[in-house]
Structure formats: structure tokens, C-alpha cells
Amino acid sequence: MYKVFSNAAKVLGSIGFMFAVSATWANDGSDSLRDLANDESALQQGKKLYQQVCASCHARDLSGSVGFNLKDGEWVHGEAPTKILSNIKKGFMNAGMPGFGSVYTEPQLKSIVAYILSEREGFADLSYKIYAMETPEDKVVTSEKLIKSGELPNNFADFRLPEVENYRIEFEGDFYAPRDEVSKIWAQWGKPLDIVVEVDGEAVAKGGNPWVPTWTLKPGKQRLKLIYHSGTNRPNQRDLILIVTNEDMSIKLFPISTRARQAMSDNKIEIIATGKTLVQRKKVLGVPSYSVSVGTPNNINYAFNTRTCSVVAMWQGDMLNVGPNVSGRGQDGSLVLGEFLFKHPQTLDVATGSDGKCRYQGYKMQSGDPIFTYKLNDTQYTLTPIAVNNKQIDFTYTIEANEMLNLNLPFGEGFEWFVSDQRADVEYLQVSPDSSGKLTVSARLD
């Protein structure tokens, strides 16, 4: 999920925070804000406020929209946490961003800064060194061979910098990996490449396979060094594509080289249900195949699986980023824009028996919402999900047979189930439809 903005677009089109990167953070009170980025209660408050105030311009995942990307290493007006706080307070009215200093308290504003800092990803304070080597096989490094060095303000490793045939290039800087999941560096088409990855001064063992080499990162902040020898690589192999992925490589999280950045520039194609309910049949990460994804204007979304005739996911937020699916030509999954309330293997389903085979018959739009029709255990069903508002979605089943039903409810944080307006707090229960054969199961969000 990544969007590239030109410098001109950043200057002229930013509506929101205008932050920047400086070479170092000054000890001007910023340390306390960095410490706050490790305070879970502050992060929860900051996240909530960010979603309310900032997400419309900078996206819910901070990856940028009409406003800047707040996650990567390319900023505009100083990355010191105190500077970020000042920018939020004062705003940039000439760019369309009001100041929030009179709207929120100091602790609230600091919690927003803490949340932004906690979501940082990629390099900071990135520098490079280029050594001219005598032959493709030469790996002896001396100070005399150093021909060029410098800083990279955009904090992306640029493998196009060397202007000699045989060389070694090093990139080094602070690096921010995801704090709460295992992540890896992946080198695309990596078999012929001579790369060494060091984390906090120690070489990282190469994993994956020869064509898909990976290097596992530590969680959070670390010191990262990349070393590449040109060797016998052809010119078109030397501009490396380096991407950070999740542990099983099912999600390309963010680029760390300039070519990877370009390759991922079309990885953000958002489908948002603005004004009307939308239906998509695309592969979605975390959702079983053969699922129909539905986004609603009330930002409660779900997926219905046509093989099991069950609701296999529900999430709050915008609908989908289909960019990874499009750029991956259908191989990579789209990403939900928001947070799952539940997902497979948890499911919502209603049946007159426990082992019936689903026969999906299709869906039709009625009054702007899809109605799913299917048979299960030779009994005819329809399911009509409607997001009543941004805090409630009703799943109304209409059943042909007048029988007791087995109801399976998935549970998670942030919502409760109600069956015919009665709170349900058990996973399995038997219920009866009303006299017209209808049963309404409601998810009410906190």
C-alpha cells in the first residue's frame, strides 16, 4: 500500500500535515514523545484521534492520499517529534490544513504524534558509500577505494548511484520494521545478486530460496546495513528491487529501494463505498477464495463465501485496496482498508442441519443492497445484510422451512451480537425464525 507524490504535488496538493525529515532528532523534548510511542494507552488514544481527524487526508494506514505519506522516510518540514507536534498545533492554512492546537488538549495532540511515530517504516538518516573495485571478483575494501559517499534525504536505497563498472555499494541507517509482526527483506530475482544484510552490526542469515532470498528483521527500530557487490551482474540486474514483506510473504509491506518504490507505485488502488454499497469478486488476503466482498457507505463491510454459504469476514473502515491484486495480476490478495472484526475460520452461518452442502444461486441488488440466495440441506435461504448505520449491521435470513435453526456466531473485540434484538453471548445456539420465516442477526459495534 504505497503512493508516490512528486515534490510539486507535495507542495501544491497537500491537505494535511506537512512534516519533514531532518538528519537527526534534536534533544528538544522529543525524547518524551518517542517514549510515549511505547505507551499502549497513548497509542490507542492517538490512533482513535488520528482516524477521526487525519485519516481523510492521509489514509487510515498513514500511507497518504491527498495528504502526505506519514509512514515512510520522505518528509518535508522536519521529523523531530516536537516539530511534528508544532505542525499539528499550528497547521498550514495556505495548504488547507487548519491548526488543532485550540481544538484538542496537549495530551491528545501528543498521543497523535506518538501514534504517527509508532507507525514509522523504512530507513531514516540513510547514507551510502561507493567503493571502486579492481575486478568483478575483488572484495577487498580499503579506504583508498572509497570514491563517493553521502546522504540520501529521501531515505531509499538508490542502486543507480555507482558510475564505475566494478563496485561495492553500502547503505546504512536507522530502520523501522513493524513492531508487532515478523517481517523480512525480499530481493526480487535475487539468485545472481551478491548481497549482505546486517542488523545492529551482525550479518543476517539468508533465507528463502536462491531466486527468492529473504532476510528476517528485528521488530521495531534497528540499525540496518545493506552491502552489494556488482560482481558479474549485468547492468539491468544491478538496480535492485528490495521490499519488506510479512513473514509468509503474502503482503508486500513497503519498498526500501528506489526501484522497488517505483514498482509498488501502483499498489494502491482503493475501492471505497461512497454513497452506495459496492460488490467485488477479487482475491482478498485473509478471506477464503470464492468470496464476495461487500462494502457499505457506513464503513461496515463483509465477505460472503459462495462455497460455504456463510459470512466469512467482517471489517470496519473503508472497503478494499485492490492495487496488490491488480499489479500482481490476480496472484496477490487485495487488502481490507480497515480492521477485521472477525475473519475465517470464524464464520456467521445459519442452517437447519450440520452437514449440508451449499448450492449458491447468486445475488441480486435490491434497494441498493445485495440479497444472496442459496440452498442448504435442500432448504431455500436468502440472506439480506444491511448496514443500518456505522454502528450496526443486520443480517436477515429468510428460510423456506419452518424449522429450528443452528446458529453459529463468530466473536471478537469491538462488537456484540443480537438475535431478534436479544443479546447473544454464546457461540452456538438454536433459534426459530418468526412466522414469516425471517431471522435477524445484528452486529452492534462499540
Q: What is the mean pLDDT of residues 153-169?
A: 96
The CA R_g of the chain, rounded to the nearest whole Å, is 26
Could you tell me if residue 421 is left (phi over 0), alpha (psi between -120 and 50 degrees) or otherwise beta?
left
Predicted confidence at residue 8, as pLDDT, reads 37
pLDDT in tens, 295-313: 999 999 999 999 999 999 9
Interatomic CA distance for residues 296 and 275, integer angstroms: 8
Statement: residue 14 has pLDDT above 80: no
Site of grid cell 497537500: 14
Residue 28 is predicted with a pLDDT of: 60
- pLDDT for the residue 355: 57
User: 1 pLDDT exceeds 50?
Assistant: no
For residues 429-444, give the mean pLDDT. 94
Look at residue 357 in the predicted model and tell me its pLDDT: 81
Angstrom distance (rounded) from CA 253 to CA 233: 27
Q: What does the pLDDT read at residue 19?
A: 39
Question: Which of 19-23, 144-148, 337-341 is the most confident on average?
Answer: 144-148
What's the pLDDT tens digit per position in 187-196? 998 888 999 9
pLDDT, greater one: 23 or 211: 211
Pick the range with the lowest mean pLDDT from 60-74, 78-92, 268-282: 60-74
d(C-alpha 400, C-alpha 350), whole Å: 13
| Helix, strand, coil content of the chain in percent (nearest 5) | 15, 40, 45
Domains 7-119 and 123-263 share a fold: no
pTM across the whole model:
0.70
Please report the DSSP string for 168-192 in residue order: EEEEEEEEE--SSS-EEEEETT-TT
For 52-66, 108-122, 281-295, which range has the lowest pLDDT when averaged over its residues?
Answer: 52-66
Q: What percentage of the chain reaches a pLDDT higher than 90?
A: 62
What pLDDT sits at residue 74? 72
Dump pLDDT digits (tens) for 237-270: 999 999 999 999 988 899 999 999 988 876 778 8
Instruction: Place 343 in a pLDDT band, splitting at 50, 70 and 90.
Output: very high
* Mean of pLDDT over the chain: 88
Best CA proximity match to 444, nearest among 414, 410, 403, 408: 414
CB-side neighbour CA atoms (13 Å) of 75 = 29
The listed CATH number (2.60.120.1560, 3.40.47.10, 3.30.310.160, 3.40.50.620) that belongs to domain 123-263: 2.60.120.1560
Please report, for the chain, the start and end positions of each structural domain, with discontinuous segments joined by +: 7-119, 123-263, 270-445
pLDDT higher than threshold 60 for residue 13: no
Q: Work out the average pLDDT over 204-222.
A: 95
Is residue 367 scored above 90 in pLDDT? yes
Residue 226 scores a pLDDT above 50: yes
Closest CA to 5 of 17, 13, 264: 13
Amino acid 378: pLDDT: 84
User: Strand (E) positions, 77-145?
Assistant: 122-132
The CATH homologous superfamily to which domain 7-119 belongs is Cytochrome c-like domain (1.10.760.10)
Q: Among 259-273, 308-322, 346-360, which range has the highest average pLDDT?
A: 308-322
Across 35-166, the runs of DSSP E, i.e. the strands, are 122-132, 146-151
Contacting residues for 67 by C-beta, under 8 A, at least 6 apart: 14, 15, 16, 17, 54, 57, 58, 97
Q: In this predicted model, what pLDDT tens digit does every residue of 94-104 receive, in sequence order? A: 877 888 888 99
pLDDT over 80 (residue 76): no
- Is the predicted pLDDT of residue 105 greater than 80, yes or no? yes
The fraction of the chain above a pLDDT of 70, given in percent, is 91
Q: What is the pLDDT of residue 332?
A: 80
The predicted pLDDT at position 250 comes to 85
Check residue 204 and report its DSSP letter: P
| Average pLDDT of the segment spanning 32-49 | 90
Nine cell digits for residue 48: 482513535
Residue 319 has pLDDT above 70, yes or no: yes
How many other β-carbons are positioned within 10 Å of the β-carbon of residue 83? 20
Contact 227, 170 (CB under 8 A): yes
Alpha helices in 158-300 (DSSP H): 258-263
pLDDT at 182: 95
